Amino acid sequence: MEKIKIIMDVDTGIDDAIAMCLALGNEKIEVLGFTTTYGNRGVDRTTENTLKILELTGKTDIPVAKGATRPIVTPFEEGIKSFIHGVDGIGDIQPPLPAPSIKPLEISAVEFMAQTLRDADRPITLVPVGPLTNVATLIMAHPELLPKIKEVVIMGGSTMQGNRTAVAEANIADDPEAAYIVFKSGLKIKMAGLDATHKGYFTFDEIKELADKNRIAGTIYKMCDVYITHCRDRMKLPGLAMHDSLPVAWLINPDLVKSEDYYVTADINGRHTYGMTVTDVHRTLNEKPNVTVALDVDRLAFIKLIEDAFEALS
Ligand code: BDR
Ligand code: CA
pLDDT in tens, 20-39: 999 999 999 999 999 999 99
> Is residue 121 domain-resident?
no
Q: Which residues of 94-105 are buried (b: 16+ CB within 10 A; e: fewer)?
A: eeebeebeeebe
Task: Starting from the CA of residue 164, give the closest ligand.
Answer: 1
* End-to-end Cα, the chain, rounded Å: 23
Per-residue DSSP letters for 250-295? HHH-GGGEEEEEE-EEE-SS-TTTTT-EEE-TT--S-----EEEEE
- Domain hosting residue 66, numbered range: 4-114+136-147+155-313
> Is the CB of residue 244 below 6 angstroms from any atom belonging to ligand 1?
yes
pLDDT exceeds cutoff 80 at 81 = no
pLDDT at site 40: 95
> Is residue 87 domain-resident?
yes
Task: Starting from the CA of residue 227, give the closest ligand.
Answer: 1
> Is residue 130 domain-resident?
no
User: Domains in the chain: how many in total?
Assistant: 1
> Is residue 125 domain-resident?
no
Mean pLDDT over 94-117 rounds to 97
> Is residue 288 domain-resident?
yes
Mean pLDDT over 233-256 rounds to 95
Enumerate the active-site residues.
Answer: 243
pTM greater than 0.95 (yes/no): yes
- Domain with residue 67: its CATH number is 3.90.245.10
Q: Which residues of 196-226 are buried (b: 16+ CB within 10 A; e: fewer)?
A: bbbbbbbeeeebeebeeeeebbebbbebbeb
> Is the CB of residue 129 below 6 angstroms from any atom belonging to ligand 1?
yes
> Is residue 256 domain-resident?
yes
> Is residue 267 domain-resident?
yes
> Is the CB of residue 155 below 6 angstroms from any atom belonging to ligand 1?
yes
Q: What is the mean pLDDT of the chain?
A: 96
Cite the DSSP H helix spans in the chain.
14-25, 43-57, 82-85, 109-119, 133-141, 170-174, 176-183, 194-197, 204-210, 215-223, 225-229, 245-252, 299-313
